[in-house]
Structure 1
Amino acid sequence: MNESADNSNPESARRQWQGVPSAGFTDWLAELDISLAVTTYQVGKLLLVGRDTQGEMAISSRSFRRAMGVWTDGDIMWLATAYQVWQFASQFDHKARRAGYDRLFVPRTAYTTGDLDLHDIAVDAAGQPVFVATLFNCLATVSHTQSFAETWRPPFITTLTSEDRCHLNGVAMVEGRAKFATLCHVSDTSRGWKQHRMHGGQLWSIDDSEPVVTGLSMPHSPRWHNGRLWLLNSGVGYLGYVDLALGKFEPVAFVPGYARGLAFVDHYAIVGLSKPREQNRFGGLALDDELAAHNMAPYAGLAVIDTTSGQIVHTLEFTGSIAELYDVAVLRGVRRPIALGLSPDELRYNVWAEADGNRRHWRRTPRK
């Protein structure tokens, strides 16, 4: 595994971690011509997983405090962080191409939101970001004059308040519109959801402002794929889909870890996994019994699931300091992506422009 240096955080050299792929993982990336964006808020990283010119897995990492939801179409990327929402744009760069990269993402726009406990982020048909402001129990978008603009709130939340009453965490987009959301319990009191982690979770219809599925355990990452709504019943450890007519969750595959982050390519689901720990909200759930029943050890990383068989066909395990992930997104047609971080020299001494019909890039040497 090759890992690019991360110069955007002076502590990065002290943080040791490694990505360990299963035998066929990198070949699978090549077969589908994809790479992956993965976030870990625990160590504050955006990880870009691809393959180098020799066909080996390569991971580029950049530091962003509390990196959470990530969305990309391969040219634009949005990232939710501790108190900002970042938009990246893909830039043409001869030096990056000579080094073997085929996509360079540069942070172009930052919206300062303050601490909203941002979770999922997506983009609507108009190109506007839609994100989950979990602390404020609502869906929202960016504002040029305020920290955020609320777009939807569950009707049982009586006021806009920074109390994380229901732990709203996930949003599913359908044809460019926010259509479904996941939450951990119907509660209108501060952190009232925490006493109902086992069976209080629900999937809600945003159009109807009504629950679609109840009795879930800490559900996350609702996603619409090939005409079907999928989600992670995280507290039990299952990937599954929702029978919208019956209002029922249908489990498809058990995954060995606390599942958050879900993306699809063809008939494969890519699930992000974290290690459950007794001292946080991941411990003491039915997931513990399910792991024992399946005789499986939890890990932090990715599980690739063939949704036609329900089998885990590939894995990427993170060892060392990375124990928790949040989100994963697919970059189609991208072999090896890289991103600039927030290093002052990277941002100051790289300049791009379009002039006379050509794209140009200047990389200057920092002054002594």
Structure 2
Amino acid sequence: MSSTTPPPAANQATNLTVSRGLAGWLTQHRTSMAFSCYQSGQLFLVGVLPNGSVSFNQQKFTRAMGLCWQPSGRLYLGALDQVWRLENMLRPGEVGNGSFDQVLIPRNAQTTGDIDIHELGVDPDGHILFVNTKYSCLATLDVRHSFRPLWKPPFISRLAPEDRCHLNGLAMVDGRPAYLTAVSRSDVVNGWRERRHEGGVLIDYRDGSIITDQLSMPHSPRVDRDGSIVLLDSGRGRICRIDPVSGMRKDIAFCPGFLRGLALHDGFAFVTLSKPRNGTFAGLQLDDEMRGRDATAWCGVMIVDLSTGDVVEWIKLDGFIAELFDVVAMPGVRCPMAVGPGTIEMQNNISFEALPVD
């Protein structure tokens, strides 16, 4: 952890353990990762230190939710009432604290109000797109207002702060929105809560058509290299592959926890798992699956081989933190760290471009 992270209180301590091969796997596949925890408001950056050990850097962002990584060295994070933009402050060849090849510092936070931002994307013009779950729409930032709506599912009659269908996941293709997930087609306040076990939908953004409605609490659609859609059928605890034409579903793997947050890299899936909260699993097939497998729910990140469904590496969190949200792979980055808002490090980290020489 970064020195900016205060030691947790005894009742808020979380123990992190990793699979024995995680450091080697990240090195072999030339990537690091970031994942978010809205429950405790944390952003975790995971990489490999020069000595070959796994690095965890942890910073506080209230209700940290959706993440979007840009290869230029930019990380977007949706939080309670703001969208944060973090930039790599290092110049070429620089290293932070003797170990870190990316030092991400908050450079902008645009206020949206509490609209329950879920997943994020960035279009080719640099506009931030986000799933506005509270208002059941896809939106972007606005210089004057809380947000500017761009699209709503055809079954939503109007925008209202009612979280009607629990629109949550966003897949981008070539910088454009392609697919979204919702827990139901409900058009009444919190209607999705009575439809958690069935009727979850994958929606084609381009024409509003429903590709499949045979899902249970779907999350995090992503487009794979072959054009198929990989998503989380969270009510069943499955990573699935969906044919975008026929809507046919093929199960890839079962993971022991509530799934939300998915990243694809090198033929593998990074997926976040959470423990149940207030009967999260009740009434879901996931509950039966867990009992049938004599399984205990995880909180953590699993790396799954998409060709076999095998879990190849993992991170496990035990203790106060029990729920995670999103995860992103950071290809080409070996060991990232962040600077947290409101910290001494943020106050003292000042950089600028030199004046041109006459």
Q: What TM-score do the two structures reach when normalised by structure 1?
A: 0.92
Look up the SS of the partner of 2:192 in the other structure: helix
Report if the CA contact (8 A) 2:199-2:214 is conserved: yes
CA RMSD of aligned residues (A): 1.7
Is 2:274 the counterpart of 1:274? yes
User: Where does structure 2 lack aligned partners over 5 or more consecutive residues?
Assistant: none
Look up the SS of the partner of 2:24 in the other structure: helix
Q: Within 1, Cα distance between the matches of 2:259 and 2:240?
A: 12
Q: Within 1, Cα distance between the matches of 2:283 and 2:21?
A: 34
Percent identity of paired positions between Structure 1 and Structure 2: 39
Equivalences for 1:59-98 in 2 at 5 Å? 59-74=56-71, 75-92=73-90, 97-98=96-97
Q: Within 2, Cα distance between the matches of 1:292 and 1:198?
A: 17
1:200 aligned partner: 199
1:249 aligned partner: 249
Is 2:28 the counterpart of 1:20? no
Deviation at 1:316, TM superposition (A): 0.8
Q: Within 2, Cα distance between the matches of 1:106 and 1:56?
A: 23
Look up the SS of the partner of 2:315 in the other structure: strand
1:84 maps to a residue whose letter is Q
1:329 maps to a residue whose letter is V
Report if the CA contact (8 A) 2:263-2:269 is conserved: yes
2:208 aligned partner: 209
- With over 3 angstroms needed to count, the CA separation of the structure-2 counterparts of 1:171 and 1:53, relative to structure 1, is same
Look up the SS of the partner of 1:355 in the other structure: coil
1:173 aligned partner: 172
Report if the CA contact (8 A) 2:105-2:339 is conserved: yes
Report if the CA contact (8 A) 1:156-1:188 is conserved: yes
Deviation at 1:297, TM superposition (A): 2.2
- 1:141-194 per-position Cα deviation (integer Å, ceiling 9, x unaligned): 111111001011012211111000000000100111101100011111100111
Q: Comparing 243-252 with 36-45, which one deviates more in the overlay?
A: 243-252
1:154 aligned partner: 153
Count, aligned residues: 353
Is 2:50 the counterpart of 1:53? yes
- 1:98-143 per-position Cα deviation (integer Å, ceiling 9, x unaligned): 4311100011111100000111111112221110110000000111
- With over 3 angstroms needed to count, the CA separation of the structure-2 counterparts of 1:140 and 1:31, relative to structure 1, is same
- 1:212-264 per-position Cα deviation (integer Å, ceiling 9, x unaligned): 11121000000112022110000001001111221122111111110111001
1:66 maps to a residue whose letter is R
1:265 aligned partner: 265
Look up the SS of the partner of 2:160 in the other structure: coil
Deviation at 1:13, TM superposition (A): 4.9
Look up the SS of the partner of 2:28 in the other structure: helix
Q: Within 1, Cα distance between the matches of 2:158 and 2:211?
A: 23
Look up the SS of the partner of 1:288 in the other structure: helix
1:20 maps to a residue whose letter is T
Report if the CA contact (8 A) 1:182-1:201 is conserved: yes
Q: Within 2, Cα distance between the matches of 1:281 and 1:126?
A: 39
Which of 3, 7, 26 is the matching residue for 1:29? 26
2:104 aligned partner: 105
1:283 aligned partner: 282
Is 2:322 the counterpart of 1:323? yes
Report if the CA contact (8 A) 1:6-1:63 is conserved: no
Deviation at 1:346, TM superposition (A): 2.8
Is 2:299 the counterpart of 1:300? yes
1:38 aligned partner: 35
